[in-house]
Structure 1
């Protein structure tokens, strides 16, 4: 009885353990000679870094994926991206459904937390829809990209690249195989290609809005008023962030990286570069060449990230909106957080504040550590790298390959926390539960 209780894991603990095991298995496979083009073992720390980046759908790399890894290694990375994007609980449920196994109440509870669903009822049906929707979207993207790539790469390579980049984009991973043309070039080769830009951006946005929003759109189609409050907040925030950011980016870079390109490429590059920080990691312009203002905008977008229950990272759009609403309510001297004619529950502000505080605290500690460990690195590059890692974005100014073992381990921890959630990691580590039945006396303090 005691042994059974010991292994009765909560979802945060199961999530941390599950992702950790997947990363370790991936690292072992990637370190094998069969995974590299030169047929030699690679340092385990680099294999671990790549596995963590793929599983946590980040995209930061110490090796160019195409030129360093063999086809086997690339397929391992692709599998890690797919598992990491969907979450191991959804993948496990997929196998249980395929084997016609019964899914119990405990498993349904884990699924509910995995997809950030409000209700446990219908969570298995929601999971089925997630799986169907994922493979459908990835399939459509893969077909379009395969046709496009086949013209310049040949049919076999075109199909392979189409599938790889579709899955990577949908899962917001940012891994690419464009090293065949130039190492670490991402999608800069296609900055003026309308079709590839639109397909990749569409996959990133669809993957980043979250599974709950998918279900709402599936059930209610275009009837926005019938959507859940969560879906309304996500869709409106996503739209406003894209529109406002693209205007800011365009004017910041029109005399910099966009100066010598046509109006179509300016528009595509501006749109792409404000969508990909939330949190895909692809880029069609050189990140290191961006103005300081654009880098700051990119970091802000990386911090916000995508939406709850999605393949994206960051503090999430709903957390960002709650923090804005708390400021508005304070200015209006109102105790309630109101939006779209609804009042948010009391605990949501506490949860939101905790997420933001932990997120920024972990990021700042990581910056201090890397700055102390490698003082030769530029602080601005370190800040960008840290927010890219904890936001599971994968964009870099070029310092990833320059990190030493200690700094790489710190980035691995950040990617891990970013994918699972820093709050979830802390909850998994902590065994403390508040069982005190009495409350302490109230006393006022001065704030601000």
Structure 2
């Protein structure tokens, strides 16, 4: 690591995926120990270790699934531990460590640059440290702006100190797409942002925080420098276009399916209906906060949200899922095939075959993992299969939405969701490379064969 000595005492040198995996595991274990302390829990008791491990994993993996109510069950110390884990998990422990090294004027080695490159899904080493510096500063600036606006608004409902505390906590949680909230501290009040379903200010501030947290740090950097450069990379164009398209399509679909639902959109004003559908569409792909209770949605809407959670956010962001770029490549491959074209073209650029293979591989692995976990959970848990599939997809997509079964999971169910959250945050391919330890290059190729499809 960055602060380690250059001693070659140990021959084993983990590769970048292994360092990332071990780093996340270390942060989860440290967080679980802190959350299991009696000082982290209210009422003078302590949290069971498995529950503390679950909450730590959910925070570091910026998921937001909870087996307890953070607003009532965690003390101020426990809440601070939780949100610090969210911040480290969202920005990446390597990014945070690198920023600390830069502040202390420490040298960043080439191997550490490779780990950083893997951590933020950056395609090159050029300008990597400069980008990390920008990433941290941009993230802190966005969180500070969100905290200020939320605190200013919440001052109308609570004392100044509590409003500032709530503003900071929820800004960090929402920007990092974690979805934890403290509003459960108020008796009889609905959780998350449900009381603000038709409030334009809270909706707009939260949607912007979710959007910037979910498009990826390299995209944010390019957007901020666009007035000078007038250029966006292909990756940024695809992320912005597909993210915008998914938001619009999701809003329209949810609006139509929930328009007559007396438990969600029907009682709301026209403005409330639009904001309710829009917020749910934006939040479903990774954020986890919600202004509509997911358990009251129609089953068709819940299944549609499962699809959005599976797609997830952008590469190098605080979100999970298969990523919007993977989804874009798959759709591009389908369109090219239906049109009889050999190449996948996006924004006048040809997508390499290697990228297509990666997209297909990543999607198949993710599908197998989610379906396999859902099948296992259907054995250990007593709940309808759609509810179980929703929970499993939410964990893998690091979304954090729940239909209410998380607090009642069996120990085996909690362990399964912990694994899903970890895998979703790290990425199945990165996890596979961490286990394998090396990427083999095939020294020869077999003769081409033909197989019938369709």
TM-score normalised per structure 1: 0.97
CA distance in 2, matches of 1:265, 1:152: 21
- The question of 1:287 aligning with 2:290 is answered no
Q: Which moved more, 1:330-339 or 1:161-170?
A: 330-339
Residue equivalent to 1:27 = 32
Matched, 1:278 2:302: no
Q: Which range moves more in the overlay, 302-311 or 428-437?
A: 428-437
Shift of 1:2: 8.4
State the secondary structure of the residue aligned to 1:343.
Answer: strand
Decide whether the 8 Å contact of 1:252 with 1:291 is kept in 2. Answer: yes
The partner residue of 2:84 within 68, 79, 84 is: 79
Matched residue, 1:413:
419
d(CA) in 2 for partners of 1:431, 1:88: 21
CA RMSD of aligned residues (A): 1.5
2: CA distance, partners of 1:365 / 1:19: 23
Does 2:174 correspond to 1:160?
A: no
1:418-437 aligned within 5 A: 418-431=424-437, 433-437=439-443
How do 1:360-375 and structure 2 match up within 5 A?
360-374=367-381
Evaluate the alpha carbon distance shift between residue 444 and residue 24 of structure 1 in structure 2; reply closer, same or farther with a 3 A threshold. same
Q: CA deviation at 1:184?
A: 6.6
Deviations 1:426-447 (A, max 9, x none): 1111235425422223222222
Query: Does structure 2 conserve the Cα–Cα contact (< 8 Å) formed by 1:64 and 1:183?
Result: no
2:128 paired residue number: 123
Equivalent in the alignment of 1:18: 23
After superposing on structure 2, the runs of 4+ consecutive aligned residues of structure 1 that deviate more than 3 Å are 1-5
Contact 1:67 1:180 in 2 (8 A): yes
Question: Is 1:252 the counterpart of 2:248 in the alignment?
Answer: no
Rounded to whole Å, the distance in 1 between the matches of 2:291 and 2:246 is 19
Asked if residue 390 in structure 1 is aligned to residue 365 in structure 2, the reply is no
Question: What aligned pairs does 1:301-380 form with structure 2 within 5 A after superposition?
Answer: 301-374=308-381, 376-380=382-386
Q: Secondary structure at the match of 1:314?
A: coil
Structure 1 unaligned spans of 5+: none
* Aligned equivalents of 2:148, 2:8: Cα separation in 1: 53
Q: Equivalent residue for 1:438?
A: 444
Q: Please list, as runs of the form range in 1=range in 2, the aligned pairs for 1:163-242 lying within 5 A after superposition.
A: 163-181=168-186, 182=188, 185-221=191-227, 226-242=231-247
For 1:187 and 1:435, how far apart are their aligned partners in 2? 50
Deviation at 1:220, TM superposition (A): 1.7
**2: CA distance, partners of 1:391 / 1:339:** 25
2:4 is matched with none
Q: Distance in 1 between matches of 2:28 and 2:101?
A: 22
2:385 & 2:99 partners in 1: Cα distance?
A: 44
Q: Which of residues 151, 154, 157 in structure 2 aligns to 1:146?
A: 151
Per the TM alignment, residue 49 of structure 1 is displaced from its structure 2 partner at its CA by 0.4
Provide the C-alpha distance between the structure 2 equivalents of 1:284 and 1:341, rounded to a whole number of angstroms: 39
How much has 1:34 moved relative to structure 2? 0.1
Quote the Cα distance in structure 2 between the aligned partners of 1:395 and 1:434. Answer: 38
**Residue in structure 1 matched with residue 51 of structure 2 by the alignment:** 46
Note if contact 2:312-2:319 (Cα within 8 Å) is conserved in structure 1: yes
Report the CA distance between 1:261 and its aligned residue. Answer: 1.3
CA contact (8 A) 1:35 1:73 kept: yes
Secondary structure at 1:326 match in 2: helix
Query: 1:180 & 1:348 partners in 2: Cα distance?
Result: 47
Match runs of 1:53-72 below 5 Å: 53-72=58-77
Contact 1:277 1:301 in 2 (8 A): yes
1:285: how far off?
Answer: 1.1
Question: Matched residue of 2:322: which SS?
Answer: coil
Question: 2-side partners of 1:338 and 1:3: how far apart?
Answer: 50
Q: Tell me which of 387, 390, 411 is aligned to 1:381.
A: 387
What is the number of residues matched between the two proteins? 445
Q: Does 1:447 align with 2:440?
A: no
Change (3 A) 1:401 1:231: same
TM-score (normalizing by structure 2) = 0.95
Q: 2:96 and 2:242 mapped to 1: Cα distance? A: 29
Partner of 1:266: 273
Distance in 2 between residues matched to 1:229 and 1:435, nearest whole Å? 28
Q: Secondary structure at the match of 1:396?
A: coil
SS at match of 1:377: coil
